[in-house]
Amino acid sequence: MKSPSSFDSNVKRVEKIVSQLNQEDLPLEKGVKLFKEGMELIHKCRQQLQEAKDQVKIYLEEENNLEK
């Protein structure tokens, strides 16, 4: 089974894809394939950011409850 990729490695890959998509001599088929991969990675990054945000929210709520 493929291990989940880290947020940082996903962002770096998206940056590389953007760079490749900006090349003038990129064949259409490859461009479409890269675009699809980039969109999938962006979706994963958004999910990872939401999970991190939820974890921080839970932590802050727990800390808030301890202070009461």
pLDDT tens profile 6-39? 999 999 999 999 999 999 999 999 999 999 999 9
Q: Note the pTM of the prediction, 2 decimals.
A: 0.80
CA-CA-CA-CA torsion sign (66, 49, 3, 8): negative
Q: Across residues 35-50, what is the average pLDDT?
A: 98
Q: Are 44 and 5 in contact (CB under 8 A)?
A: yes
Distance CA 45, CA 48 (A): 5
- Of the chain, the percentage scoring pLDDT greater than 90 comes to 82
What mean pLDDT, rounded, does the chain reach?
92
Is the pLDDT higher at 20 or at 4? 20
